[in-house]
Structure 1
Amino acid sequence: MTVTGAQRQTPVDVREVRELLEEYQRKGWTDGLPVAPVSESVLEEFLATTPKDPDEVLFEKPHLNRRLTVRDAAINAALAGCLPEYFPVVVAAWEGIAQEPNPKKGIWQSTTGTAPFTVVNGPVRQRLDINSAGNIFGSGHRANATIGRALRLALINVFGLHPHGLDQATQATPAKYTALIGENEEMSPWDPLHTEYGFTRDDDVVTSFVIRSVMHIEARHTQAAEHLALDFTDSIMRTGAFIHEYTNALLVVSPEHADLFARAGWSKEDLREFVYAHAVRPRPDFAAVGKDAVSRHTKWRLATDHPDAEPDTASATSTPEQVRGLTNPESVQIMVAGANNAGVSAVVEIFGLHARLRPSSYSRVVYP
């Protein structure tokens, strides 16, 4: 069987293409799904979309003695099925990841199963057809699927993070295939995420996160902003979220929920401050699950009778029986995404070891 492309004179042997894909699979160059074949001419098309030198290092893991160059990133973007014009977003995502402190310390190898999560803002969303308005965490949009996948393939192929090998995730998350969404700026009553970093609406920016999970919040029962905000807060404060002394969250608010808050006169900052103020649980709730103290070495939560335990920070406050789950309002970030068809939002659980730092980083998308 052969197929002929619209502009091709030479037939393509499908069996040969399938055998090439099987060879890629045998060499371990995939995430389990078939990848797109790559040639030098294809690679040149990707490299032509960025002003960066092909040998420039975008990200490195010193403890593995491995580094990712622009050329490496381009190879994996091509393998992932990206179009060449997607590549500047891939580059920006790697630059964002490089600014975030956790990945350099082996977090991508963690038993927790963390994954890169990328948010895209600015006009580039329309140019590349990046989905921001329905089924945002699902399939169906090439840019979302392949740009996020390009990051995972590079972690496998450049850094050797194969499951059962250097990647030690106990269960992991589907986000380890791909996780990228756009912000639905057009249906948001608030300024978009990237303007909080000093960019303008017309700037193309990616924000990089390290995530553990995505929880959907079903809230179609109320028109009270306080009810909805407390639903978010209770989800953030589930005891299972607490690996460390504190937790972090990205609220992905649907347009319907964002409009509910806006009609009540709430700004993004109002929502952030409300969640922070109410993100408190009684100490007995933590004691009941063996998380009433922290390790004196790692600061991870554990039981008070553990030999490595020491009192948590809340123990030294004026209200020691009330345990605060967020270090500051900046531990909660907020964006709007999804369709305007139901009261469904999400809490994305962010992995952050550094309590006083914003649990994300960002980079501008640059074309030649």
Structure 2
Amino acid sequence: MSVTVSSTHEVDSDEIRTALDYYWDNEWTDGLPVVPVTESYLAEFLATVTRDPNEVLFTVAHLNRSITVRLAALNAALAGCRPEYLPVVIAAWESVAKEPHPARGIWQSTTGTAPFLVVNGPVRGEIDINSRGNIFGSGFRSNATIGRAVRLGLINVFGLNPHGLDQATQGNPSKYTAVIGENEEQSPWPSFALEHGFDADDSVATMFVIRSVVHIEARHTMVPEQLALDFVDTICRTGALIHEYTSTLLVLVPEHAAMFANAGWSKDDLRAFIFENAVRDREDLARVGKEALSNKTRWRLPANHPDSTSDTASSTDTPDRVRLLSHPTNVQIIVAGADNAGVSAVVEVFTLNPPRAIPFSSTKIEA
């Protein structure tokens, strides 16, 4: 059997299936079919950047493995990227390399963490990165394949296969791919990239480490405080409280961002409000066995645990009210999605304990 792919070329479907099965049998996939890659096709990717193919982008020392520009390009091709996506893929890897968790073991974590990339600047339009609807879903080749290129690199270069070096207990769907663009055009505020020192004509890739994405249905109010408290309730859910403090990325739809801005709120105003209100009664934490901390890890555990110690709130004037954010900057904010309904998202960002003031890593995208 053959399949006609143009008016002059036919491809043997059995050969296609044989190639796909070969990649699968060698565990070079994420469970979905990949694009077979030849040296000539790989060369098209490498031609889009002025980087040495042997340049190392990211190393996991305890695995004694590194990804180079060539390997990043190879996995981008496997993932179904177009060659012109490679500068974004490289910037994504350079952002991964800035992730400071000890020994980079976060990529093998039992908690199921995954890379989540936010893209700013002109490159969004140049390669059609979706920022305006179904942003966490399907439908855009660049969003789907750029994130997949990183995942395939983690599998093929670092050996992070499920039931092997990837020790995620359950994982989450973003372990396939998670890439969105910021909807800068419909944001009432400076973009994430501008906010953090980049220029308007810079294309920027920012990598987060995430565990989950929770959607907030909020079409009921025009009072900014009520909407902000809806976000606080999700940020402070006890199931999200792993360490003494938590961090979050708010992905606001234009409708919600405009509501805050029309009420005179800046991003800093929203951060400050969430910081001040992100508290729980110690009784709430005790009911789920999270009222104390581990001496060794500062992870939450019951007060009667042999490794327990008091948390920071215990030494304040209000020991029964536990603050769950260490600083307002543990709330980062971008605008993305369509303006057709009040549905925003709280993205659970996995950070150091205590979190850094800025729990992300940004990289300028360059050829």
Per the shorter chain, which TM-score range? over 0.9
Q: Where does residue 12 of structure 2 map in the other structure? A: 13
Please say if 1:314 is aligned against 2:313: yes
Could you tell me how far apart the structure 1 residues matched to 2:100 and 2:47 are? 30
Q: Where does residue 226 of structure 1 map in the other structure? A: 225
Query: How many Å apart are 1:320 and its aligned residue?
Result: 1.1
Residue pairs, 1:80-119, within 5 angstroms: 80-102=79-101, 104-119=103-118
Q: Where does residue 66 of structure 2 map in the other structure? A: 67
CA offsets 1:35-65 (integer angstroms, 9 cap, x no match): 0010101111111111111111101110111
Please say if 1:344 is aligned against 2:343: yes
Please say if 1:357 is aligned against 2:336: no
* Corresponding pairs, count: 366
Could you tell me how far apart the structure 2 residues matched to 1:284 and 1:10 are? 70
Q: Where does residue 295 of structure 1 map in the other structure? A: 294
SS of equivalent residue, structure 1 residue 106: helix
Could you tell me how far apart the structure 2 residues matched to 1:342 and 1:115 are? 27
Q: Which moved more, 1:315-324 or 1:143-152?
A: 315-324
Q: Where does residue 22 of structure 2 map in the other structure? A: 23
Residue pairs, 1:174-253, within 5 angstroms: 174-253=173-252
Q: Where does residue 155 of structure 2 map in the other structure? A: 156
Aligned residue identity for 2:356? R
Q: Where does residue 36 of structure 1 map in the other structure? A: 35
Could you tell me how far apart the structure 2 residues matched to 1:159 and 1:14 are? 32
Could you tell me how far apart the structure 2 residues matched to 1:78 and 1:317 are? 55
Query: How many Å apart are 1:103 and its aligned residue?
Result: 7.3
Aligned residue identity for 1:365? I
Contact 2:205/2:363, CA 8 A, preserved across alignment? yes
Distance 1:226 1:328, change over 3 A: same
CA offsets 1:293-329 (integer angstroms, 9 cap, x no match): 1111111110010000011111112211111111101
Q: Where does residue 258 of structure 1 map in the other structure? A: 257
CA offsets 1:234-274 (integer angstroms, 9 cap, x no match): 11000110111110000000011011111111111111111
Could you tell me how far apart the structure 1 residues matched to 2:172 and 2:63 are? 23
CA offsets 1:171-218 (integer angstroms, 9 cap, x no match): 110000000000001111011001122001211001100000000000
SS of equivalent residue, structure 1 residue 41: helix
Contact 2:327/2:357, CA 8 A, preserved across alignment? no
SS of equivalent residue, structure 2 residue 344: strand
Query: How many Å apart are 1:358 and its aligned residue?
Result: 1.2
Query: How many Å apart are 1:12 and its aligned residue?
Result: 1.6
Could you tell me how far apart the structure 1 residues matched to 2:160 and 2:102 are? 12
Aligned residue identity for 2:364? R
Query: How many Å apart are 1:128 and its aligned residue?
Result: 0.5
Aligned residue identity for 1:148? G
Could you tell me how far apart the structure 1 residues matched to 2:200 and 2:252 are? 19
Q: Which moved more, 1:80-89 or 1:346-355?
A: 346-355
Could you tell me how far apart the structure 1 residues matched to 2:143 and 2:9 are? 32
Between the aligned residues of both structures, percent identity stands at 65
TM-score by length of 1: 0.98
Q: Where does residue 138 of structure 1 map in the other structure? A: 137
Q: Where does residue 3 of structure 1 map in the other structure? A: 3
Contact 1:73/1:150, CA 8 A, preserved across alignment? yes
TM-score by length of 2: 0.98
Aligned residue identity for 1:3? V
Could you tell me how far apart the structure 1 residues matched to 2:5 and 2:53 are? 30
Q: Which moved more, 1:76-85 or 1:100-109?
A: 100-109
CA offsets 1:44-99 (integer angstroms, 9 cap, x no match): 11111111111111011101111111111111000000000001000000101111
Could you tell me how far apart the structure 2 residues matched to 1:56 and 1:293 are? 45
Aligned residue identity for 2:41? V
SS of equivalent residue, structure 1 residue 231: helix
CA offsets 1:99-149 (integer angstroms, 9 cap, x no match): 111274311111100000000000100110000000000000000000000
CA-based RMSD of the aligned residues comes to 1.1
Could you tell me how far apart the structure 1 residues matched to 2:102 and 2:59 are? 9
Structure 1 residues not aligned, in runs of 5+: none
SS of equivalent residue, structure 2 residue 144: helix
